[in-house]
Amino acid sequence: VALHGKTRSDEDKLGEVLQRLQDEDPSFHAEFDPELGQTIARGMGELHLDVQFERMERKYGVEVETERPRIAYRETITRPGEGQGRHK
């Protein structure tokens, strides 16, 4: 799930709070994907993530909005390639 803070203040605190949650719960992972420009959270399911987001609001005072993550498409040729082969 992609997430971001509701306000600028929430956005500023988000990284620190996500790190604390990861330390407390080893099955919760969150990282910033520079290619997509989004913070991606992973857990054991939708309910698990919902519980973590509620904890963020209740315990740390950080409200987040969630959305579906973007997909990085890499269908463009980025550099020339060479190869050799033999057909029998």
Beta strands in 34-75 (DSSP E): 38-42, 64-67
pLDDT tens digits for range 2-31 = 999 999 998 999 999 999 999 999 999 999
Superfamily name and number for 2-67: Elongation Factor G (Translational Gtpase), domain 3 (3.30.70.870)
CA–CA separation, 30 vs 3, rounded Å?
A: 10
3-state secondary structure (DSSP) of residue 32: strand
Q: pTM score > 0.75 for this model? A: no
- Rg of the chain, C-alpha, whole Å: 19
pLDDT tens digits for range 39-62 = 999 999 999 999 999 999 999 999
Strand partners, 7: none
Domain boundaries, the chain: 2-67
